[in-house]
Amino acid sequence: MRELSLQVDQLPAAAGQLRAGDRVLLSGRVYTARDAAHKRILQLLDRGEAPPFPLSGAVIYYAGPTPAQQGMAVGSCGPTTSGRMDPFTPRLLDLGVLAMIGKGDRSDAVVDAMVRNGAVYFAAVGGAGALIARCILSSRVVAFDDLGCESVKEMEIRDLPLTVAIDAHGKDLYR
């Protein structure tokens, strides 16, 4: 098990070398999206419209941050259960999503798509949303404002503590 500091823009080169169990402090731009947002993103794609953020090389954090507290970019911002995104994830991985952040195991179809595309799945600590919020430098809604805390947000994070739960080779800590 290794401990690494990584920038999101380093992930394309580093993803294949990350191993399940590695601890990572991740910094850079990520996008939040939960199941309702995923459904809408795929509806946009089905209509031939552009997604609300570039999918190639993207990191999606499965979270719905609460409103910002005084002096903070967001309120609590813990991970949600990733399995709810599994019906949508293989297609997004095939379109270039490079990493996901959440909690809980993933379906065989998601793991197969991760291996096919060299993507990784990071686990964040559930129940630690207030602590995770300290790693978020900025947050702005980029799509689906009507979804409230579940809108798609672009966030800048610094040293978000994560564990590689499933690596790009299919090694899975949950199994």
Catalytic residues: 38
Rounded Cα–Cα distance for residues 169 and 32 (Å): 25
Q: 172: burial class by Cβ within 10 Å (0-12, 13-18, 19+)?
A: middle
Alpha-carbon distance of 71 to 50, in angstroms, equals 34
* Exposure string for 32-67, b = 16+ CB within 10 A, e = fewer: bbbbbbbebbeeeeeeeeebbbebeebbbbbbbbbe
* The dihedral formed by the CA atoms of 96, 150, 170 and 9, expressed in degrees to the nearest 10: 50
- Look at strands 152-166 and 120-123 and give their pairing: antiparallel
